Amino acid sequence: MSASTERGIPRIPGVRHADHVGLTVPDLEDAVAFFVQALGAEELYRSTRGPDAEFMPENFAVPKDARLTLAMLRMPPNLNVELFEWDTSDRRTEHPRHSDAGGHHLCFVVDDVDEAVAVLRGIPGVRVLGDRKEVAGDSPRVAGNRWTYFLTPWGLLMEIVDRSRVADPPPLVGPADWPTAAPENTRKDR
């Protein structure tokens, strides 16, 4: 436990929900094509910024010569994914491993992991990591959960999961939990 955890961390006021996840990719066109074609994303818009010797270091913690192009995608029904392609003098190209600080992955629920894996194995450049796995009795709350990891053609670690066989799943938020209208106190027309 760190010192800050022992002392407590103040709650940020007004946090409502996650808006998007941002990921840096080596080639924006290739990444957008993968998300749109393989995962069914919708491209919402693109934007560029930089270089700007004052703005970029101050607001993105990147070198002053950095420039970016981004694409915002919607993964129906609820996830926005912002893909960045950066150009800078000291850009690193190595991906963190899952076990490294900064390691990460993006997971999608699928109806049938075996069917999804079969399609993934046919996509050029995709590397499926092992065979489909199933959680056993060592994790009773999610026993029956079926999953596998894969690497995209540019090296992003992703996971697919099928929770349809889990008898008593933990309260994971999903489409059935989303309100159909904004609560009265969050409406912006007041």
Task: Encode pLDDT of 42-95 as tens digits.
Answer: 999 999 999 999 999 999 999 999 999 999 999 988 899 999 999 999 988 888
Side-chain half-sphere CA neighbours of 137 within 13 A: 0
Q: What's residue 176's pLDDT?
A: 63
pLDDT band at 180 (very low <50, low <70, confident <90, very high): low
Tens digits of residue pLDDT in 132-143? 998 888 888 888
* Residue whose token pair is 């990719």: 25
Mean pLDDT (the chain) is 86
Pairing mode, if any, of strands 106-109 and 79-87?
Answer: unpaired
Tens digits of residue pLDDT in 113-131? 999 999 999 999 999 999 9
pTM for the full model? 0.82
Mean pLDDT, residues 9-34 taken together: 91
Question: In Å, how far from its chain's centre is CA 104?
Answer: 8
Tens digits of residue pLDDT in 2-20? 545 567 999 988 888 788 9
Look at phi and psi of residue 130 and say left if phi exceeds 0, alpha if psi is from -120 to 50, else beta. Answer: left
DSSP state of 98: T
